[in-house]
């Protein structure tokens, strides 16, 4: 028999928290009947439309249940990073923060090259959602730190050596989910290798959590501004008002 689930959750607090956020976001998206256009990231919306909040929101958003199941399964398999004596929860937090912050900008940089140099305007409208970039990046980091050691479950279908896991997931995801962003996943893999080689070793868990909280706040502001989420005590001044910015008040509508 395996270990009780509650003990597994206690051993993998950061992994469990990430899964809880993704599942909670999916429930909210389903309940509000939101779609890719509402929570997804595209070159058009982020670069041309200046909706930077989408770079954070899209990573925790899943529109399709199958996509969520795949990512949750992969993420849970990677929870071993937290229990590893060589890495641990602190490493997991640093790696996740770096991946959340850098994988989407790298993806947009690839799109920019394809659009401006390759003349492929269709990439401006490719819309991405999901935690896949982070899971792919964590696999890459694990493959560097545990080279030649251990096996990872491939969506529960098979177990493959950790060093090959990023590429196995990359191919299988592209086959099973045709709408999956190959470039987005590749961006996560590349950032993950950078993380695995220790570039962000100086990023302490405190700063990793701080970065995550500021990112979450920015994403929430973007969601409120876009109308996808409404908070009764938060409103934005209309564009062109003398005092543009965030106004916070209560039922009277008075700004503080």
Residues tagged active-site: 132, 185
What token pair was written down for 143? 């493959």
Give CA–CA dist 201/217, Å, rounded: 25
Orientation angle between helical segments 13-32 and 88-116, nearest 10 degrees:
50
- Please report, for residues 47, 158, 167, the alpha-carbon distance to residue 130 in angstroms, rounded to integers and kept in the order given: 19, 22, 18
Give CA–CA dist 231/241, Å, rounded: 21
E strands, 117-179, where? Answer: 151-154, 158-161
User: What distance lies between CA 81 and its chain's CA centroid?
Assistant: 17
């Amino acid at each position: 028999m395996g270990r009780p689930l509650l003990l597994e959750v206690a051993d993998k607090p950061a992994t469990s928290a990430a899964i809880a956020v993704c599942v909670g976001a999916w429930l909210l998206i389903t309940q509000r009947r939101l779609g890719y256009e509402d929570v997804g990231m595209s070159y058009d919306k982020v670069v041309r439309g200046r909706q930077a909040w989408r770079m954070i929101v899209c990573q925790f958003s899943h529109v399709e249940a199958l996509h969520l199941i795949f990512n949750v399964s992969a993420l849970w398999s990677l929870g071993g990073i937290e229990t590893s004596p060589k890495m641990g929860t602190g490493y997991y937090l640093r790696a996740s923060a770096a991946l959340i912050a850098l994988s989407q900008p790298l993806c947009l940089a690839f799109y920019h090259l394809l659009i401006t140099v390759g003349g492929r305007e269709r990439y401006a409208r490719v819309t991405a959602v999901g935690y896949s970039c982070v899971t792919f990046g964590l696999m890459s980091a694990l493959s560097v730190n545990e080279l030649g050691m251990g096996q990872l479950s491939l969506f529960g279908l098979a177990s493959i050596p950790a060093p090959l896991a990023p590429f196995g997931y990359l191919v299988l995801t592209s086959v099973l989910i045709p709408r999956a962003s190959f470039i987005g996943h590749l961006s996560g893999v590349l950032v993950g290798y950078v993380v695995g080689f220790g570039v962000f070793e100086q990023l302490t868990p405190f700063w990793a959590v701080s970065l995550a909280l500021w990112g979450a706040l920015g994403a929430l502001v973007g969601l409120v501004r876009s109308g996808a989420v409404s908070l009764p005590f938060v409103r934005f001044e209309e564009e062109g008002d003398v005092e543009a910015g965030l106004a916070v008040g209560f039922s009277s509508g008075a700004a503080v």
